[in-house]
Structure 1
Amino acid sequence: MTGDAGAKSRYSIQPGDILQIEVLEDKSLNRNALVLPDGTISFPVVGTVRASGRSVDAVRANLTAGLASNFATTPNVYVSVAQLGERRGAAAPATISIYAMGEVAKPGMFEAEPGITLLQALASVGGFSKFAAVKRVQLRRADPKTGIEQIYLFNYKGGGIAGSTPLRDGDVIAVPERKLFE
């Protein structure tokens, strides 16, 4: 790829960006979608799609897959960045710091690209140990303004927050040891 096409495929979508989405087979689905602060967009039929930290092509692939069951043939979906969101301060960090503790294969701090999800982070630390309480995983996140910590529960077997939840700089993943008959 050269020039403008190469730059577009490397662009990482950010919160505040506005995506123009077109579905050739159903014009009623055409719209602009704002990337929310949590990094997601909402689209009819498909629901919530993670966009922040991903390329336009990756979002297009998710939307196409989500719409496919509603069409006789695979729909032609086009996604472009219609407007860049306002960037505050310096450029976004190249990496974020994530901490994993407890019953994971490699506990400790690691650097990751912005947009990494909870499940991707767990995979990055080698997954769970054999003693992990996979139904009681915690995502601990401190509010940058108040310093108050929020604890979000994640059940690897289903329930709680989604495994596709994007992580933020300073997030802590805590995996407790399972109880005797858990």
Structure 2
Amino acid sequence: MRVLLIGLLGLLMAACATGEVMTTEGEGLAYRLAGGDGVTVTIFNEPELTGDYRIDELGALELPLAGAVKAAGLTTEELQTEIRQAYLGRYLQDPRVRVEVSNPRPIYVLGEVSRPGEYEYGESLTVMQAVAKAGGFTYRANRSVFYVLHHGGDEEKKYKLTPTTMLQPGDTIRIVQRFF
């Protein structure tokens, strides 16, 4: 048992030392809304205010009566609070609001794949699944590392390619060429 614990500790330390640790199960990553996301806003007992909306490129959500509500950078729970505040007192006494992401931003797959391009994001999408959507690797592809530019980021990050590496909506992944 002790040898097993020491071995696991060594593996954990090695993973942290590489600086290439990307979550493999999506833990700790709260989905942050951004321009282009589609959301379903439900205001209970208010069918005329309930509907599907798209966050504009400036990060705002245009709602009936309430007008523009800042949505970019917020989680769905935080947006629920903002929408509640927009309606509270002015139009509704006690609005009960629910927000769900109905149409997340697409992902982009570039580089050494058969069909580079834009692809629909699906819940719990892994890098390997994104590569499969793009027709698989070319024969020149480096199958051990890839690069990600996260939505809203300004710098690509290099990660080790594993079957369980998760993507976020709006990510751009780039599969590079191997050198040998």
Fold conserved (TM > 0.5)?
A: no
TM-score range, shorter chain: 0.3 to 0.5
How high is the TM-score relative to the length of structure 2? 0.44
